Amino acid sequence: MIKQKPLHPSNHTNKSRRNFIRTSLGLYIALASRKTLAINSISTKKNENKLISILNKSSSINIGQAILILPKHELQLSNIAATVMYSLNLSSRSLNLITKKELSLQLKQQTVNDFDLGNIINVEGWIMGYTEAQLCVLAARIFMGPEKY
């Protein structure tokens, strides 16, 4: 029969300390992550609001709703804000800094590019550029509430 080696008092202490550190670190990381997520969420919301601020509310909701019930299309509808910002070559920081007028101009230029490249979608017969259509969907989701879409 092998006799179990008694634990060294110091070992015992070390383990508790290790556990303590591990737990603390875990707790810290968890808290930090939540904070980061919260910060990211706030930032995304801010970006989305800035992007849709240049749209006419009721028109964009109508168009966005119409797009969301289209049976089939090739429009990318997840992470719209990030996709549109990428298309417009804008970071969160630069989006935050530009004026609405500048943002409108950039959207206008991107819409021209969309039409030129054939990145277009048929919404109840109206032919629209991808980027403007994505923004309308974003507006519909924000104004109508996420529970609806």
Partner 1 sequence: MIYDARSLEPDQIFETDLLIIGAGPAGITIAQKFAGTSIRVTLLESGGDGYNYDAQDLNRGAITGIHAEPLDASRLRLFGGTSNHWAGWCRPFEREDFEVREDWPESGWPISLDDLKPFYDKATKICQLASKNFDDLDFWQSQPGGSHLNKLNTNNTRLLSAIFQISPPTRFGETYRKDLEQAKNITVLLNATALELLKSNDSSINSSIKKISGALVSTLDNKQFTVNARATVTAVGGVETSRLLLLSNKVHPQGAGNEYDLVGRYFMDHPWLPSISNLRFQQAGTNWPLYFDKTKVANTRVFGTLTPAPELKKSKKIGGFRLWLQPTRTSTAGLDSARTIIRSLKQGQLADDLGDHIANLYADADIITDAAYKTLFQVRDSPFAHKSIPSDPYLGAFIDLNIEQRPNSESRLTLDSPLDAFGQRQIKLDWRLHDTDWHTAKTALNTVAQEFGRINAGRVHIPSEFESNEPNWPPLITSSNHHMGGARMALDPKQGVVNSDCRVHSIENLYVAGSAVFPTSGYANPTLTIVALSLKLADHLYKVLS
Residues that bind partner 1 in the complex, under the rule CB under 8 A: 58, 61-62, 65-66, 69, 108, 111-112, 114-116, 118, 120, 122, 124-129, 144
Q: Which phi and psi angles does 69 have, rounded to 5°?
A: -105, 10
**Shortest Å distance, C-beta 114 to partner 1:** 8
Determine the 3-state secondary structure of 123 from DSSP: strand
Whole-angstrom distance, CA of residue 103 vs CA of residue 117: 21
* Nearer Cβ to partner 1 (44/120): 120
**Shortest Å distance, C-beta 56 to partner 1:** 11
Which amino acid does the sequence have at 27? L
**Shortest Å distance, C-beta 122 to partner 1:** 7
Determine the 3-state secondary structure of 47 from DSSP: helix
